[in-house]
Amino acid sequence: MIKCNLGNSLALTLLLLAFCCSTTIGRLNKRSGYHYKPPAGPPHGPAHGFYENSNTLHAHDLPSGPSHEAPSGPYYEYKPSPSSGHTHGVGGGGGSSSSNGSSKSGYSIGSGLRSIAQGSANQAYTAVANQHAAAKQAAFIAKNTLAQAATQAAATAQAALAGKKVILQELEQQAAEAQRSLSRELEQLKSAKIAAQLAQQTAQSANHHVSVLIAAVNNAKSLAEQAEQTSSEVANQLASQSSMVGQAKSRAEQVEEQLKQARIDYEATKEATLKAASSAAEAQVNASKAAAHATIGLHESTHNNPPSAEADESSYDIETTGLGHEIQYESHDVHRQ
């Protein structure tokens, strides 16, 4: 989804640049008598003043200043309107020509075309520079978004780890309580065994005294019956206590198994949390590097490349091959480092 958004942003940027270029060309086409023509190689044959025999005016025929050369790129052609009944000419020194014997006043349009060409070159250079900055900014936004997603994933893992830790603590408390309950039940079982042994000894003594003490037969029988009843109750209590001990053992084993599984889950969650934190840190470092790289590239492209016709052509060549431009920037940054 992030890659799709990045592609949409780059496509939108290219569409805006194409629209700006088409608007500039449209403004040139709207000027009276001037039409954009693609470059068609150097002219052959001698030039006749500012106008050729075909009533056309090319950029390579225009007079240039002391520090400007004739452009080798696209040029503009002047076509007079059908309503004009004569062709204006510009003399080399006096400002008039006498091709058919009559003097006619002329005008110079070279400076206007040169201003248009220079303005278009500056606009193209600015558009290319803005396109490079927009591409780097889009890359920085994508990496920053991935870093935020990694940070959120790490926070989610931390929350899961905290939940697992709470569950582990609760299970440890339950296991300790189960162990204490088992100890109490074992103590009660030991007391019950001692009481059963004492009751059995009492019954045996009573039975022994029945044969010895004939005078106290009734009392001895009563004592024996009571001892038997007590022994039966103690036996029932012993059986019940044994059952409770078995249940306590089962509960302790179940809690121990849950504790073991919780520890395994805790270790796995801890490992996943560490991996998520490491990935988040790496994503943050990549985002910081991308921001620094974008800032350095924008600074260098703004201050180290003066606007000129040759620089515009080289920038346009690099722009048409986006991968090659990126490789050139990366090699330049490595050289600086």
Confidence (pTM): 0.24
Q: For residue 253, what is the domain's CATH number?
A: 1.20.120
pLDDT at 313: 44
If one counts the domains in the chain, the total is 1
User: b/e string for 108-136 if b means 16 or more Cβ within 10 A?
Assistant: ebbeebbebbeebbebbbebbbebbbbbb
Angle at 296 between CA 290 and CA 300, to 5 degrees: 145
Classify strands 96-97 and 75-78 as parallel, antiparallel or unpaired.
unpaired
Domain of 174, in residue numbers: 165-301
Is 133 a domain residue?
Answer: no
Residue 122 lies in a domain: no
- How far apart CA 306 and CA 304 sit, in angstroms, is 6
87 lies in a domain? no
Angle between helices 110-212 and 2-30 (to 10 degrees): 170
Q: Which backbone phi and psi does 78 adopt, to 5 degrees?
A: -100, 125
CA–CA dist 317, 123 (Å, integer): 16
φ, ψ dihedrals at 36, nearest 5°? -75, 130
What's residue 9's pLDDT? 55
Residue 222 in any domain: the answer is: yes
Report if residue 294 sits inside a domain.
yes
pLDDT of res. 104: 43
* 248 located within any domain: yes
pLDDT along the chain (337 residues), means of 10: 50 60 49 43 40 39 40 41 39 39 48 78 84 84 88 86 89 94 93 90 78 72 83 89 90 92 92 93 91 83 60 43 41 43
φ/ψ region of 56 (left if φ > 0, alpha if ψ in -120 to 50, else beta) reads: beta
* Euclidean distance between CA atoms 88 and 76, whole angstroms: 18
336 backbone dihedrals φ, ψ, rounded to 5°: -65, -40
